[in-house]
Amino acid sequence: MTSPKATILYVEDDPDSQTLIHRILTHNGYRVLIAPTGLDGLDMARQHHPDLILTDINLPDMSGREITDRLRADGELCNVPIIAVTAQIHDFERRKTLVAGVNGYITKPINLQMLVHTVEECLAGQLPAPPIEDLDEARRAYHQELITRLEETVRKLETRNRELQRLDRLKDDFIQLTAHELRTPLTTVYGYSRLVQTLPAIQQLMATNTEANATLTGLLTAIERLHAVVDEIVIVSRIASGRVDLRLAYTNLAESIRQVIVDYTPVLTQRALQLQLTPEDWKISLVADKQMLEMAFSNLLSNAIKYTPDGGTISLYVERVEDADEPFVRIVFQDSGIGIAPEDQPYIFDRFYVTGDTQLHSTSKAAFRGGGLGLGLAICKGIVEAHQGHIWVESAGRSETELPGSTFYIELPLTLQLPN
Ligand code: ADP
């Protein structure tokens, strides 16, 4: 088989024209590539560096003139000869095409002999330069065409965007409604489950019968977990829809952090994790929603525990920063865990974003079971931002062997006022 004389890219959406030109040019010894849209044409030109490009003028996504314009601005493709294939034979249309920088044009319906001749001439560099004529008016018309198309595209994108936002709101409303509907019966179940644990007869049964003990413990743990998950979803959907009502009051950070630590003391002990903090430093009072703040602290501490292997260290710091324009308090949760990859860091505060396989996160796998909806940090962010604060993370990367650790920062203004 002889090697092709040259590679020709043909940008055309009409299948009949594609077939015809492909057949004729292949028959004449050329390699022919077909791109059905303007964007495909640009991609294929960049990928295959053809010797010649034939382009239809009226393509569904962009015009042949715009394709030419893009190629002429491309350092590697600016000199590729381009021939416009057009049914528009009006002189003005022809001049608009020349303005964009084509070397020549072929009119439709295509005269096959003429086609082969023009292609040969063009490849031999013999296609006469476009006649120098007054192209000003054509240039203006061409620019107008570009602006109109841009405007149309922006309008389409805006409509699409509004539709996506509407769907997003619908989804949020659906989640919120479902979570609310689930929460009502679940609260009752949760209440009964707590009650059951205090009944002497049940306590006695659990103490004497291992099977009953295992079954009831499993049941009660699952109910608690379900309750917590539904609560998380309710809160996160409220945050997402901007419906967080803060109950602001003077809040003592020392008290809040102590409360949170108490909840985690059993797991910290069980996993031999060291918790370091200087209680004196936490004696700071600020206007905040105590319950919300504790929820944010609780999520950060729970994550630090989840992603730090047994025997690791978690350090909590706090400091008042008075010398800024507006004084604030900086709270830091630092762990010696597996860390977070740089590519994940921008997304971990998004709803439902989780990274990797949580089963691998620790030597104490049991600590991970049931976790990982990907809502904890979204809740933290919503709470911190509702307080007009900031939250961010710093981590050198993720490694289960080197344990680079993660540091979460929260900054809260000290200037929030109590409502009147
Ligand atoms: P989850 O409920 O899955 O923990 P979060 O929103 O709290 O959801 O966290 C999102 C993701 O961020 C987690 O899946 C985890 O990969 C990562 N992450 C959060 N905190 C830490 C941490 N202290 N160390 C390592 N990775 C973390």
The confidence band for 369, taking pLDDT boundaries of 50, 70 and 90, is very low
In a domain, 300, yes or no: yes
CA 413 to centroid of ligand 1, rounded, Å = 25
Residue 340: is its pLDDT beyond 50? yes
**pLDDT surpassing 90 at residue 5:** no
Whether the predicted pLDDT of 99 surpasses 70: yes
Q: Which of 240, 265, 290 is the last residue of a domain?
A: 240
pLDDT over 70 at 372, yes or no:
no
> Among 131, 164, 183, which residue terminates a domain?
131
350 to 172, 192, 222, 326, 358: CA distances (angstroms): 14, 34, 26, 28, 17
pLDDT at 359 over 60: no
Whether 370 is covered by a domain: the verdict is yes
Report yes or no on 140 lying in a domain. Answer: no
Task: Return the percentage of the chain with pLDDT > 90, whole number.
Answer: 51
Percentage of the chain exceeding pLDDT 70: 93
Q: What CATH number does the domain containing 59 carry?
A: 3.40.50.2300
- Residues 200, 284 share a domain: no
**CATH code, 333:** 3.30.565.10
Averaged pLDDT of the chain: 87
Q: Same domain for 319 and 401?
A: yes
Distance 115 CA to ligand 1 centre (A): 62
Q: What is the pLDDT of residue 131?
A: 54
pLDDT at 312 over 70: yes
Same domain membership, residue 271 and residue 231: no
353 lines ligand 1 (CB under 6 A): yes
229 and 273 assigned to the same domain: no
The 10s digit of each residue's pLDDT in 232-261 is 788 877 777 777 788 899 999 999 999 999
- Give the model's confidence band at 148: pLDDT under 50 very low, under 70 low, under 90 confident, else very high: confident
Same domain membership, residue 109 and residue 176:
no
**Looking at per-residue confidence, does 145 or 161 come out higher?**
161
User: Region 109-133: what's the mean pLDDT?
Assistant: 80
Question: Average pLDDT, stretch 285-302?
Answer: 94
> Residue 112 corresponds to which tokens in the numbers above?
């096959």
User: Which of 187-196, 237-246, 311-320, 394-403 is predicted least confidently?
Assistant: 237-246
Instruction: Name, in order, each residue with C-beta under 8 angstroms of 420's C-beta and a sequence gap of 6 or more.
Output: none
Tally of structural domains, the chain: 3
Residues 326 and 216 in one domain: no
The answer to whether position 255 is within a domain reads yes
Which residue segment(s) compose the domain that 224 sits in? 149-240
The pLDDT of residue 90: 73
Q: Is 140 in contact with 96 (CB distance < 8 Å)?
A: no
Answer yes or no: is the C-beta of 309 below 6 A from any ligand 1 atom: no
For range 224-231, the mean pLDDT: 84
Q: Between residues 408 and 220, which one has the greater pLDDT?
A: 408
Q: Which secondary-structure segment (H or E) carries 297?
A: helix 290-306
- CB-based burial label for 289 (10 Å; 0-12, 13-18, 19+): buried
For residue 42, pLDDT over 90 is answered with: yes
**Residue 403, pLDDT score:** 94
- What is the mean pLDDT of the segment spanning 3-9? 90
SS3 state of residue 80: coil
Sheet of 390-395, strands arranged across: 274-276, 313-321, 328-335, 406-413, 390-395
**Both 278 and 314 in a single domain?**
yes
DSSP 2: P
Higher-confidence position of 359 and 236: 236
Looking at the structure, tell me whether residues 261 and 331 fall in a common domain: yes
- Residue ranges in 28-135 assigned as alpha helix (H): 38-48, 64-72, 91-100, 112-123
Q: Is 50 a member of any domain?
A: yes
Which residue of 225, 295, 303 sits with most ligand 1 atoms within 8 Å of its CB, as the best mutation to test the pocket? Answer: 303
Best substitution site from 295, 313, 373, 377 to test ligand 1's pocket, by max atoms within 8 Å of Cβ? 377
Domain contains 419? no
> What per-residue confidence (pLDDT) applies to 143?
79
- Higher local confidence (pLDDT), 144 or 153: 153
Inside any domain, residue 2: no
Q: Report pTM.
A: 0.60
Among the three residues 105, 131, 157, which one is the final residue of a domain in this structure? Answer: 131
**Is there a domain that residue 1 lies in?**
no
Q: Higher-confidence residue: 402 or 138? A: 402
pLDDT value for 367:
45
Quick one: pLDDT band at residue 36, thresholds 50, 70, 90? Answer: very high
Average pLDDT of the residues in 362-391: 73
pLDDT tens digits along 61-83? 888 888 888 888 888 988 899 99
Closest among 26, 36, 38, 97 to 62, alpha carbons compared: 38
Name which of 63, 148, 151 is nearest 100 in CA terms. Answer: 63
48 and 185 in one domain?
no
Cis peptide before 60 (omega within 30 of 0): no
Residue 364 pLDDT exceeds 50: no
Of all atoms in ligand 1, which is nearest to the CA of residue 304?
Answer: 23
| pLDDT tens column, 174-222 | 888 888 888 889 889 988 988 988 899 999 998 999 999 999 889 988 8
Residue nearest to atom 23 of ligand 1 (CA): 304
Same domain? For 71 and 91 the reply is yes
Atom of ligand 1 nearest to the CA of 371: 2
Q: Which residues of 67-98 are buried (b: 16+ CB within 10 A; e: fewer)?
A: bbbbbeeeeebeebbbbbbbebeeeebbbbbb
Q: Are 101 and 81 in contact (CB under 8 A)?
A: no
